[in-house]
Amino acid sequence: MTTVYDVPADRFIRTLAEELKTKPEIVPPDWAAFAKTGVHKEMPPEDPDWWFVRVASIMRRVYIDGPIGVERMRTFYGGKKDRGSKPSRFRKGSGSILRKSLQQLEAAGFIQHDKTGRRVSPEGVSFMDGVANRIVAGEAAKSAVPAEE
């Protein structure tokens, strides 16, 4: 069986984001159009579907690193803040975006929360492994078709 570990992250996150768009529990908050993703950023994201991509990335990160908490995930989504003539310094990413995303994933039944942190539920593992399996099956179908010359 194909798992999340067997698929390149960029392709998996993009496909998972498309799947999450169909879930009624996953919706961007009203403030998402104006919010930066951290204090180290100068502008909000330009992609109108950035919320779904971030939720997919968070879901993958919880699958790989879980159980994990919001504070530890903030460091993964952080970056260097440009401080002008002073040297750049690392700043953590937005905790609100992470919390709201994880709450939506919990409402959808993909993540469960306990005292050790958040981890992917069995339904979430099945859903994510199914997406990974479809990606690998799609690649196999493309390589099986001979190229016309």
147 confidence band (pLDDT: 50, 70, 90):
low
3-state secondary structure of 140: helix
CATH of residue 74: 1.10.10.10
Contacts of 118 (CB under 8 A, 6+ apart): 62, 66, 67, 68, 69, 102, 106, 111, 112
Tokens 């790989």: give the residue. Answer: 64
- DSSP alpha helix (H) spans, 35-121: 50-65, 70-76, 95-108
pLDDT, one tens digit per residue, over 99-125 is: 999 999 999 999 999 899 999 999 999
**147 lies in some domain:** no
Q: Does residue 95 fall inside a structural domain?
A: yes
For residue 138 the two structure tokens come to: 């799609």
pLDDT tens readout for residues 9-65: 999 999 999 999 999 999 999 998 888 999 999 898 888 899 999 999 999 999 999
The string of pLDDT tens digits covering residues 66-92 is: 899 999 999 999 999 999 999 999 999
Q: Is residue 144 part of a domain?
A: no
State the residue for tokens 């984001």.
Answer: 17
| DSSP 8-state code for residue 68 | B
Number of domains making up the chain: 1
Report in angstroms the alpha-carbon separations of 140 from 83, 122, 133, 135: 48, 27, 11, 9
Q: Which domain holds residue 101?
A: 4-139
C-alpha–C-alpha distance, residues 8 and 32, integer Å:
27
Q: In which band, very low, low, confident or very high, does the pLDDT at 141 lie, cut at 50, 70 and 90?
A: confident
Strand stretches in 12-148, DSSP E: 79-81, 89-91, 111-114, 117-120
